[in-house]
């Protein structure tokens, strides 16, 4: 069942497939068309009930970046308003969602910069059981250096990357594979973590890659609860 509700001025779309597990995804207008397919892809990979929650981001570069940074293309930089967005999510949006769905577990995920924001959220607060970071922008200035020595508070973290993403002509973005391997190595010592490599560049199969991340994290958390 699909419905839209407004929380803290955000028109949030819910895809209810049984509740119990909240899958929260920061999204933009481009992903709106593929969310129903993403739900189907998650269901193909996990038998567990869930509600996928798509929260529209008003300013992608500003609201999802942990701190200010220079542009990578053109003149649009990063506003560093991730802390404010995380505060709204944790303190205003999430309590309403949990009450509405009676969810027992919460997984924060997303693609690209939303994947970076998911990792940021997993480090900065303890309300997320799992993190699903699909092709996350871990090339972001100083992110890897800052967080590789910090403690991840989620119990399971999924990372993925396209095998051609490191071939970017942008020198900053070309570091992405080295950065994600550093993150994987650090996270492996703290939680259940996997790094999955996919075929293609950054702009391929975003819905599939995100769905794979959510499904793996859902299944892994359930396995841990069952002592597997």
pTM of the model: 0.97
What is the percent of the chain where pLDDT is above 70?
A: 100
| 228: pLDDT strictly greater than 80 | no
Domains, the chain, with CATH or none: 2-225 (3.40.50.1820)
How confident is the prediction for the chain on average, in pLDDT?
95
d(CA 37, CA 171): 33
Specify the 3-state DSSP secondary structure of 166. Answer: helix
Give the containing element (helix H, strand E) for 18: strand 10-27
**Average pLDDT estimate for 124-145:** 98
User: Tens of pLDDT along 24-67?
Assistant: 999 988 787 899 999 999 999 999 999 999 999 999 999 999 99
Q: Could you give phi then psi for residue 139, rounded to 5 degrees?
A: -70, -10
Q: Looking up tokens 């991840």, which residue turns up? A: 152
Pairing of strands 68-69, 50-56: unpaired
For 171, residues 6+ apart whose C-beta sits below 8 A from its C-beta are none
User: Tens of pLDDT along 157-201?
Assistant: 999 999 999 999 999 999 999 999 999 999 999 999 999 999 999
Residue 1: per-residue pLDDT: 86
């Amino acid at each position: 069942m699909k419905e839209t509700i407004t929380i803290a001025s955000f028109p949030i779309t819910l895809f209810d497939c049984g509740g119990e597990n909240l899958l929260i995804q920061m999204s933009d207008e481009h992903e709106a068309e593929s969310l129903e397919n993403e739900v189907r892809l998650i269901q193909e990979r996990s038998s567990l009930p869930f509600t996928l929650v798509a929260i529209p981001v008003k300013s992608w570069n500003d609201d999802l970046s942990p701190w200010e940074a220079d542009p990578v293309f053109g003149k649009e930089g990063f506003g560093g308003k991730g802390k404010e967005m995380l505060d709204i999510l944790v303190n205003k949006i999430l309590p309403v969602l949990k009450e509405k769905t009676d969810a027992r577990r919460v997984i924060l995920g997303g693609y690209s910069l939303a994947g970076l924001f998911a990792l940021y959220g997993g480090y900065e607060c303890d309300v997320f059981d799992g993190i699903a970071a699909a092709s996350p922008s871990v090339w972001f200035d100083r992110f890897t250096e800052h967080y590789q020595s910090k403690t991840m508070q989620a119990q399971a973290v999924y990372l993925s990357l396209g095998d051609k993403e490191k071939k970017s002509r942008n020198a900053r973005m070309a570091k992405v594979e080295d950065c994600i391997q550093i993150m994987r190595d650090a996270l492996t010592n703290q939680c259940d973590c996997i790094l999955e490599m996919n075929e293609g560049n950054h702009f391929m199969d975003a819905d599939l890659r995100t769905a794979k991340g959510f499904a793996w994290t859902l299944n892994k958390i359930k396995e841990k609860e069952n002592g597997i």
